[in-house]
Structure 1
Amino acid sequence: MKLKLYIALFLLSVSAWAQPKVSTSVNVTKNKIGAEFRLTLKTDVDTFSKVKFPERKNFGALEVIQSYKIDTVKKGNRYELIKKYGLTQFDSGKYTIPRIPVVINGKPVFSDSIKVEVNDVKVDTLKQKMYDIKAIAEVKSDWGTWWIYVLILLALAALGYGIYHRLKKTPKEVKPEPVVYKSPIEKATSLLQQLETKGLWQKGEIKSYYSELTDIARNYIEEEIHIPAMESTTSELIEALRIAAKQKKLKLSNETVENLEKVLQQADLVKFAKVKPLDYEIEEDKKRISNSIVTIHKSIPEVVEEDDELALWNEQQKELVRLQKLKKQKQNRILTTIGVTFGILLIAVSSLIYFKGWDYVKDHLLGHPTKELVEGDWVYSQYGNPGIKIETPKVLKRVDASKLLPKEVAGMVKEMQVFAYGSILDDFYITLNTATYKEEVKADLDKAVEGYLKVMESQGATNIIVKTEEFDTQKGISGKKAYGTMVVVNKIKGSSTKMYYELLLFAQNNGLQQIMIAHRDDDKYGKEIAERVLNSVELKVE
């Protein structure tokens, strides 16, 4: 049993030692206004670890004026990574460099916070020699090389003119003059003969053969009988042909119409269902089309006297064909515009995702509520009594404290003020409250943390993980900090969200001051807001 205990303790010690750590140091803790504090972060990792140091404009109240390159020192099979930052502050006082997250293998590891002091620069105007203001310095203009840009523009213009002149002189292809046929039957017969000379179906191009074959027949019917054959489906064409035969008194037998319908249906199957007819079937379809065209031609009376009603019908059919073509052209233009626009948007979004990542596109195009809070106008104000000075992305609104106080506590409290932004069910939440007691009370901050966590449980928080540590403001006022994660259950929506929270508690002037911030655990903008808010906290000292 002792051996097993020793092994277990050894493994625990090894695992504890193997956890990545970030050591923190600063070259000086006291400096003059505007002078540089050299902050150094070190971490010892294996060769397979991925380490990402933060890049920010501010660490707490100190401004980052220089982010130095990472130094790598190899120690056997491990690396020591050293990252240095140059920090400064242009206002005297005591400040705290906050805990800085370093992402190691996808998990944040925090550095230690360090207190620094910025002192005023004493100037003795009696001993310091005074100098006059320097004269205005002349700045050399870069327009001395303007002629280079002019030459480039002239060269581009000459190149463009040369290309245009060359294209203009290039002889255009002379298109053969279209053949003019005397009648629709002559045109159809000639086209059928040309189709046979191509030998399409013998080469296996059956679909092209049937398309041209049926187009010849449709075009003939449209020109000879004046019905919209090219724009009609097979069933519509056959129906229109039967109606035209009755109105124009064409001597068409049912057999002729049925033979034409069989070929058109066969062509539809070839074009859309990929049916491959046999050679004898193709020959038979060719004969049917040829015979149908000849029969229709012979069925037309030699002298056709159009009465007013027939002339009107023909005009209506022509107008119908024209309107159908216009409608189709309009639809094609709309679809083309939509397709081009969608294609451009798709290319632009894909490029952004490739170069910037999905999170960037989601935050900048789709929007992110806490990102808007980070980039908005912040407010620095004082709340409650004893007063708390704090910087927040939005003004905190007053909440009726009488509804929040339990009966057993209300009798002890002289005054209580509560301010908040959002609620615990939102993605981001800030609440601040101050209380003063009627009698002299020594506040126990540890018990106050427990009490506040019970309040969060009553509001829907579960699985609360708590860590505590001491917390000092920039002016050195000490308090208690509790932080960790919790799962907030929304009973109305039937959903749950994992949240990260930070709670600050201070006891002074016979009162209690509390600040709580909560945001989604995976929200990087929420973390930025929380860090900036907590670094701005200062208490009013009476």
Structure 2
Amino acid sequence: MKKQIFFLLLLLSNTIFAQQKRVETSIDTTKNKIGAEFKLTLKTSVDTLSKVLFPNLKSFGQLEVIQSYPIDTVKNNDRYELIKRYGLTQFDSGRYVIPSVKVLINNKAYQTESIPVEVANVQVDTLKQKMFDIKDIQSANDTIGNWWKYLLGLIVLLGIGVGVYWYLKNRQKKKIEEEVYKTPIEKATSLLNNLEKKELWQKGEIKEYYSELTDIARNYIEEAIEIPAMESTTSELIAGLKAASVKKKMTLTPETIENLERVLKQADLVKFAKSKPLEYEITDDRNKIQKAILTLDSSIPVEIAEEEDILLNEAQRQKQIALQLKKKRNKRIVTSVLTVVILLLAVTFYLMATKGFDYVKDNLLGHPSKELLEGEWVKSEYGNPGVIVETPNVLLRTDMSKSLPKDGAALVKDMQSFTYGNWVDSFYLMVSTLHYKQETQVDLKKSMEAYLQYMETQGAQNMIVKQEDYETKEGITGIKSYGTFTRDNGLTSGKERMYYEILLFSQEGGLQQVLILHQEGDKYANEISERVLSSVELKHEDR
């Protein structure tokens, strides 16, 4: 009977051992540098019908998961070998333990092995590394007076926009007055004078000169004599002009028509055959065009217009001027706005290229933490025993007695809390003091653990906790916990990563606490935290 019992126990122990070994645990190295990757491997062998569920964790103990690799599957006859790898890292030196975790095989849990690892500091060779002198003390930025720089920049941009607007207004108004004429002959004469002022043919732009010269003549004929001169060829124009002179009873000499035809044909040769007339020929052609226009205008029979027709024509002219002024005004506004926008974009891109995107975003669009950091700080005393601390704003008294458990609240004589912001904000600061009814030896480590558990009840998830001793400038000792956690973001319905720092002190049987909470990676909030914590002083009170 004893032998049977022995063999039965031996069989059971072998069975249990075999079950626990269903998951093999290994790691590529047990020693690594700060920030380097440990590769943890979990391996199991199952039949083809088994269902395996590996853990999906953000961290293994105090080691953060930086990469969760896909599962490798190796078929071995009628079984599958499943291999799951995790990339782990730690950014503080020390000895850590990768804890045992559960792997579910057919809804049954199997524990992995725990593995101790070591994270070492990066060695710095101070003999070969170039050393630099300590920098001189830098003067603080005058953050209070920076607003005038932005105001000055805005005034300059607006001044440029207004200057562009008025320049275009005066220029376009003058141009409109030149473009709107009472009669076709007045327009033609003015355009001929402007053409000579451009000095096109003197600059070698002969083709452009003849093109404008003949356009002036054709446009006059079309407006004054009312024949389609702009779309007609030279032959068609001359034929139409002869027919119109008969119809309108115009007294035209053959010489006038021949001179006009000769200049138009000369222009055709210049434009299409690349002919280059001599200087005297160009001057002669210009004089012929001017003389032909004047002769045509004088040969048109004069119709005596009634007073009403004169007033109507003048009203139409003024209406045309007003319409063109309105169009030009809208164009000036658009041009001025575009000029300011282009200048603003140019300055923005220059600052982004030289200072970086964050600098432009924080200084132009604003940053809540930056405004806190650069605001007027206040140094005050809070609670009893007093905690003296410098903060961006005065902390407001808050009733947090309801957060104490019933058993703990019965032992507390007095609790005072002062906060800036709320727990759900991107930046939160709290100073609290607690005094017990009876003299009590406070265990700071247990108190810290209790508060970290309270943070988890408030929504903190995947907490990474680091702890160290802390000492104020006056030599008062306490403990400091710091690290990160994730929480739900009510605005984006996603997750956000937060950074926290907690200081705990025990004086006269009481407890003093300083908590700072902000979004991870907020450089301005980091500077606020450093300044606040470095200013902490504890004051004894006689009771």
Instruction: Return the letter of the residue paired with 1:434.
Output: T
- For 2:355, the equivalent position in structure 1 comes to 356
Per the alignment, residue 334 of structure 1 pairs with 333
C-alpha contact (below 8 Å) 1:21/1:44 kept by paired residues: no
In structure 2, what is the equivalent of residue 319 of structure 1?
Answer: 318
Contact 2:362/2:370 (CA < 8 Å) preserved in 1? yes
Tell me whether 519-528 or 441-450 shows the greater mean CA deviation: 441-450
Aligned to 1:366: 365
The answer to whether 1:395 aligns with 2:394 is yes
Structure 1 residues 221 and 20, CA, compared in 2 at 3 Å: closer, same or farther? same
Counterpart residue number, 1:9: 30
Would the alpha carbon gap of residues 182 and 441 (structure 1) be closer, same or farther in structure 2, given more than 3 Å must change? closer
Partners of 1:342 and 1:394 lie apart in 2 by 37
- Tell me by how many angstroms 1:474 deviates: 1.4
3-state SS of the aligned residue for 2:29? helix
Q: How does 1:135-174 map to 2 (within 5 A)?
A: none
CA shift, 1:6, in A, is: 9.7
AA matched with 1:311? I
Counterpart CA distance in 1 for 2:352 and 2:216 is 48
- 2:418 is matched with 419
What's the offset of the Cα at 1:384? 0.9
Q: Which has the larger radius of gyration?
A: 2
Residue identity opposite 2:425 in structure 1:
D
What is the match of residue 489 of structure 1?
Answer: 488
Distance (whole Å) between structure 1 residues aligned to residue 419 and residue 222 of structure 2: 80
CA distance in 2: counterparts of 1:490 and 1:13, whole angstroms? 31
Instruction: Name the structure 2 match of 1:436.
Output: 435
Matching residue's letter, 1:393: P
Deviation at 1:387, TM superposition (A): 1.5
SS of equivalent residue, structure 1 residue 414: strand
Report matched runs for 1:127-276 at 5 Å. Answer: 183=185, 221=222, 224=224
Give the 3 Å change call, closer, same or farther, for CA 377–481 of structure 1 in structure 2: same
Structure 1 regions of 5+ residues with no counterpart? 23-41, 47-71, 88-180, 226-251, 264-283
CA distance in structure 1 between the aligned counterparts of 2:92 and 2:409, rounded to whole angstroms: 46
Q: Distance in 1 between matches of 2:245 and 2:464?
A: 93
Tell me what 1:469 maps to: 468
- Give the drift of 1:338: 3.2
Contact 2:466 2:483 in 1 (8 A): yes
Q: Tell me if the contact between 2:184 and 2:220 (Cα under 8 Å) persists in the aligned partners.
A: no
User: Contact (CA 8 Å) 1:43, 1:82: kept in 2 or not?
Assistant: no
Query: Which AA in structure 1 matches 2:535?
Result: S
Mean Cα deviation higher: 301-310 or 495-504: 301-310
Q: Hey, what's the Cα distance between the residues in 1 that align with 2:494 and 2:477?
A: 38
Seen in structure 2, the aligned counterparts of structure 1 residues 351 and 313 have a Cα distance that, compared at 3 Å, is same
* Aligned twin of 1:533: 532
Structure 1 residues 412 and 363: CA distance shift in structure 2, 3 A:
same
One-letter amino acid of the counterpart of residue 29, structure 2 = A
Q: Deviations over 1:92-139 (max 9, x none)?
A: xxxxxxxxxxxxxxxxxxxxxxxxxxxxxxxxxxxxxxxxxxxxxxxx
* Equivalent residue, structure 2, for 1:144: none
- Give the Cα separation in 1 of the matches to 2:234 and 2:213: 11
> Hey, what's the Cα distance between the residues in 2 that align with 1:185 and 1:351?
49
Q: Distance in 2 between matches of 1:423 and 1:294?
A: 93
Report which stretch shifted further, 479-488 or 398-407.
Answer: 398-407
Is 1:304 the counterpart of 2:308 in the alignment?
Answer: no
CA distance in 2 between partners of 1:295 and 1:461 (Å) = 97
Matching residue of 1:446: 445
Question: CA 1:303–1:464 in 2, change beyond 3 Å: closer, same or farther?
Answer: same
Note the residue ranges of structure 2 that are not aligned, 5 or more in a row. Answer: 1-20, 39-88, 94-120, 138-182, 250-300
Is the 1:504–1:514 contact (alpha carbons within 8 Å) kept by the matching residues of 2?
yes
CA distance in structure 2 between the partners assigned to 1:453 and 1:461 by the alignment: 9
**What is the CA deviation profile of residues 362-405 of structure 1, one whole-angstrom value per residue up to 9, with x for unaligned ones?**
33333322222222221111101222111111110111224433
Q: TM-score, normalised by structure 2?
A: 0.50
Aligned partner of 1:504 in structure 2 is 503
**Matches of 2:378 and 2:411, distance apart in 1:** 33
- What whole-Å deviation, never above 9, does each CA across 1:259-282 have from its counterpart, x for those lacking one? 98xx5xxxxxxxxxxxxxxxxxxx
Paired letter, 1:356: K
CA shift, 1:416, in A, is 1.2
- Secondary structure of the 2:305 match is coil
Within a 5 Å distance, the mapping from 1:22-61 to structure 2 comes to: 44=123
What's the secondary structure of 1:512's corresponding residue?
strand
Q: Is the 8 A contact 2:411 2:436 kept in 1?
A: yes
State the AA in 2 paired with 1:381. Answer: S
Q: Residue 304 of structure 1 aligns to a residue in which SS?
A: coil
In 1, the alpha carbon distance for the partners of 2:464 and 2:209 equals 73
In the alignment, structure 1 residue 410 sits paired with structure 2 residue 409:
yes
Kept in 2: contact 1:20–1:44 (CA 8 A): no
Q: For residue 74 of structure 2, what is the aligned residue in structure 1?
A: none
State how far apart, in whole Å, the 2-side matches of 1:296 and 1:408 are: 115
How far 1:532 moved relative to its partner?
0.9
Query: TM-score by structure 1 length?
Result: 0.50
State whether residues 470 and 481 of structure 1, in contact with CA within 8 Å, keep that contact through their aligned partners in structure 2: yes
Give per-residue Cα distances to partners, 1:144-189, cap 9 Å, x unaligned: xxxxxxxxxxxxxxxxxxxxxxxxxxxxxxxxxxxxx99589989x
SS at match of 1:467: strand
Q: % of aligned pairs identical?
A: 39
Whether 1:456 and 2:455 are equivalent positions in the alignment is yes
Following superposition, the deviation at residue 16 of structure 1 comes to 9.3
How far the C-alpha of 1:521 sits from its partner, in A, is: 1.6
Provide, for residues 305-324 of structure 1, a one-character-per-residue CA deviation record: whole Å limited to 9, x for no partner.
43344323211221122213
Are the structure 2 counterparts of residues 291 and 21 from structure 1 closer, same or farther at C-alpha, using a change threshold of 3 Å?
farther
Tell me the C-alpha RMSD between the 2 structures: 4.8
| 2: CA distance, partners of 1:344 / 1:381 | 46
Cα–Cα, structure 1 residues 44 and 19, in superposed 2: closer, same or farther, change >3 Å?
farther
SS at match of 2:30: helix
**Contact 1:370 1:525 (C-alpha < 8 Å) held by counterparts:** yes
1:370/1:297 Cα in 2 relative to 1: closer, same or farther (>3 Å)? farther
2:383 corresponds in structure 1 to 384
CA contact (8 A) 2:185 2:220 kept: no
Aligned partners of 1:291 and 1:498: how far apart in 2? 87
SS of equivalent residue, structure 1 residue 517:
strand
Conserved 8 A contact 1:353-1:361: yes
2:30 maps to amino acid:
L
**Structure 2 CA distance for partners of 1:493 and 1:298, relative to 1, 3 Å:** farther
Distance 1:407 1:478 in 2: 29
> 1:70-102: CA deviations, max 9, x gaps?
xx742xxxx465665799xxxxxxxxxxxxxxx
Is residue 43–residue 81 contact of structure 1 (8 Å, CA) maintained in 2? Answer: no
* 1:6–1:458 distance in 2 versus 1, CA, 3 Å: closer
Write the deviation string for residues 188-213 of structure 1: whole angstroms up to 9, x where unpaired: 9x99xx9xxx9xxxx9x9x9999998
* Structure 2 Cα separation of the partners of residues 12 and 470 of structure 1: 24
Alpha-carbon deviations, 1:327-373, whole Å to 9, x = none? 34434443443344334434433443343333333333333222222
- Cα deviation for residue 288 of structure 1 reads 6.6
1:34 alignment counterpart: none
For 1:538 and 1:431, the matched residues in 2 are separated by 15
C-alpha separation between the residues in 1 aligned to 2:460 and 2:244?
85
* Per-residue deviation, 1:468: 1.1
Aligned AA (2:319): L
